[in-house]
Structure 1
Amino acid sequence: MTLDDLRVFVAVCRAGSLSAVARELGCTQSAVSQHVKRLEREVGLSLMERHPRGVVPTHAGELLRGAAAEGIGGVDHALRRLRDLARGDGGSVRVTTGATTVRHFMSAAVVAFRERYPQVSLEFQTENSSRGCVAALAAGGADLAWITIAAPVRGVELRRAAELRWVLAVREGDPLAERSAVGAADLAAVRLIGLPGNSSSRAHLEAWFAESGVRLPAFDTSVADWDTAILLAELGLGYAVVPELPGWRDGRHPGVRLVPVPELPPLWAGWAVRRWAALSPLARAFADMVAAGVDAEGAVIMDS
C-alpha cells in the first residue's frame, strides 16, 4: 500500500469513475484500476462496486476513503507548508467553491489580498455543490472551502459568515412583483425554476415546502447556479426562489423584482476547513478578508 495507491483510490471515490481519474492524471484506466486492486489485495476486501454509470465505494471502501482522505489532506498540507518555507516566495492559498461565489462574495477580498501579498498564488477550484467542495477539501485539494452550511459536516470545522435570506425573483410587470412578501401557498401556484438538484439550497427549499404542508410544484426548467435562475426569471421563463446574494439589488437585473419570502428560514454560507488551528497564516488572512468584505455589504453575521 503506497501513498499513490491511496491518492488514486480517494480520487476514484470522489469522481465515481476510473476513466475520469485516468484523464485527470494523464494515465490509462488500467493503471488507475491497478492502484485500487493493489489496495483490495492488501486489505482482503472489495473496496469498489462496479455499476453501469461508474463505481461507488463499498462499506469497507468508504471506511478506507474517510481515513485516507483525512490523512492525505494532512500530509499534503504539511508538504505544501515545507515547500513554501523552502522557496521563501510566499506560497499559495487554494480555495474551492461554487461557480458564482468569487463574483458575489470574494471580489473585494481577492483585490485586497493581491495588493497585500503580491507574491502569493491564489488558486480557485470550482465544484458544483457544497458536498463536492468538502470532498475536495478532505482530499487535500484545497485549504479553504466556501460552502452553504446546512448542518455539521464530519471531519471539517465550519465557520458561518453570511446569512442569506430568500427572495422570489419575478419579472417586472408580473402581478407578484407588486407584493411586499410571498409565502409557500403563493409559490405553489406558480411555475418555479428548479435549483441545482444536488445543492443544499434545493434540499432546504424542498424541506420547507414539506414542513409547510404545501406540495412543491414540478420544475420544467432547471439551472446549475443561482445567477442563471435570476436570468431566466428576467426572461420570463418562470419564477426563481433563491437566496439573495450581495449586489443583486444594485441594478444588475433591472427587469426583475426581488420579493422577500420571510417564512422561508435563511441559509448560511461560510468557510469549511480541515482544522482552523492548522491553517496557514496566509489562508487565514484570505478567509478573514472575505468575511470582512461580505460584512461591508451588510449581509453578514459572524459566528466564530
Structure 2
Amino acid sequence: MDPHLLRTFVAVVDQGSFSEAARELGYTQSAVSQHIATLERDVGAVLLHRRPVAPTGVGIRLLEHARPLLLRWDAARADMARMTAAPATRMVIGVTPLAMTAPFGSTLTDLRLTRPHLAVTIRVLGRAALLRDVATAAVDLGLVDGMAAPTDPLHLPDAGPLTTTALSERPLAVALPASHPLAGRTGLSLTDLADARWIDAPDTAIPLAHLRAVSGTDGYRPALCYEGSDVRGLTTLIAADHGLALLPQRALDDQPGIHAVPLNTPRLVHRTEALYQALPDSPAALLASALAADA
C-alpha cells in the first residue's frame, strides 16, 4: 500500500474536504481525487462518503492502520538521517506540561558546560505531538508524563525504535474545588468518581480515556474540555467548579481554591520518562542518562 496514497487519505479525513487536503499537501484537487480512487481500487472498497466527506466503516478501520503506519514511515526516514548526520550542534528538547523534573535545570546546565557551543531549544508539547516529533527527529529528546502502575512503563503508541528511560514516579491526586463535598477526604477511590463531573485535559491532566480504560467502565464523562497546556488555567477552572481532574500531587501544591485528595485505589502513579534515539554520545542520550541518575 503506497504511503503517499495513505497520507492523502488521512489528509482528506482530517480536513473533511478534498480541496482543503489538496491545499495542505500541495496537490491539485484532481490529483487528490485520483489518489483516493487508486487507494479504493487497491483496498477493494469505498473508503470515503463524498457528501459530506467522511470515512466509511472500511475507511475508519483503514485510518486506524494508516496513522501508525505513516508515523513509522516518517520515523524510519528520520532514523536513517540521524545515522548519517554530522555531530549535533543543536538540541531540541520537547516536554509535556507536567514532565519537567526537578533536577532538569541543573542537569542541563552541566551538559552545556561540557558542550558550550550546543544551542538548546525547549518546546512544550502535547503527549501525541511529542511522541510524533521525537520519532520524526523534530525533537531530539522528549520528556513525557502519564499514568501507570508502579514500576510499569507508560503505555505509548509504537513509534519505532526509541529508547525509553524512567525518570520519576510520584503520587497522583484528584483535584477538587475547595468547596467540594469530597474535599475533606484523606483518600479517594477512582471507581467512586465514575459519575462525577470531569474536565478532559488530555495534554495536561491524565486523559479521561485512560481513566475509563483503567476502571473498565464507561464513566468519567467530560463536563468541559480543556485543550491548553497551562496548568494554572486548568486549576482555575477546577476551582470554579467546572469539573475534576487527576494530576500529580506536586502540581497542585499552593494552587488557590484547590483541594488535592490523594488517589488511594487503584495503585497508580504519575510517571515521567525520557524518549530519544539511542545514538552513542549524542547530547540527548547523555542528558537522559544524567537525568535518570539525578532522579
TM-score for both structures, normalised by structure 2: 0.67
Note the 1:1-304 alignment, pairs <5 A: 16=14, 28-30=26-28, 52=53, 65=70, 68-79=73-84, 81-82=85-86, 84=87, 91-102=89-100, 106-129=104-127, 131-147=128-144, 148=146, 149-151=153-155, 153-154=157-158, 155-156=160-161, 157-184=163-190, 186-188=192-194, 190-196=196-202, 201-210=207-216, 216-224=219-227, 225=229, 227=231, 228-244=233-249, 246=250, 248-249=252-253, 251=254, 253-264=255-266, 265-274=268-277, 276=278, 278-292=279-293, 295=295
Contact conserved, 1:143 with 1:279, CA < 8 A, in 2?
Answer: no
Aligned equivalents of 2:238, 2:179: Cα separation in 1: 12
Return closer, same or farther for 1:7/1:106 CA change in 2, 3 Å cut-off: farther
Residue 163 of structure 1 aligns to which amino acid in structure 2?
Answer: E
TM-score for both structures, normalised by structure 1: 0.65
**Structure 2 alignment gaps of length 5 or more:** 147-152
Return closer, same or farther for 1:10/1:290 CA change in 2, 3 Å cut-off: farther
Aligned equivalents of 1:234, 1:60: Cα separation in 2: 40
How many residue pairs align between the two structures? 266
Residue 226 of structure 2 aligns to which amino acid in structure 1?
Answer: V
Aligned equivalents of 1:243, 1:107: Cα separation in 2: 20
**Structure 1 alignment gaps of length 5 or more:** 85-89, 296-304
Aligned equivalents of 2:209, 2:195: Cα separation in 1: 20
Q: CA deviation at 1:279?
A: 4.8
Q: CA deviation at 1:163?
A: 1.7
Q: CA deviation at 1:263?
A: 0.4
Return closer, same or farther for 1:128/1:62 CA change in 2, 3 Å cut-off: closer
* 1:213-234 Cα shifts (integer Å, max 9, x gaps): xx62432112234724323222
Identity level (%): 14
Aligned equivalents of 2:200, 2:91: Cα separation in 1: 34
Residue 285 of structure 1 aligns to which amino acid in structure 2?
Answer: L
Aligned equivalents of 2:265, 2:125: Cα separation in 1: 30
Aligned equivalents of 1:192, 1:184: Cα separation in 2: 12
* 1:123-145 Cα shifts (integer Å, max 9, x gaps): 3344422x332222222322222
Contact conserved, 2:276 with 2:285, CA < 8 A, in 1?
Answer: no
Q: CA deviation at 1:100?
A: 4.8
RMSD: 4.5
**What's the counterpart of residue 300 of structure 1?**
none
Q: CA deviation at 1:105?
A: 7.6
Q: CA deviation at 1:270?
A: 0.3
Aligned equivalents of 2:202, 2:107: Cα separation in 1: 27
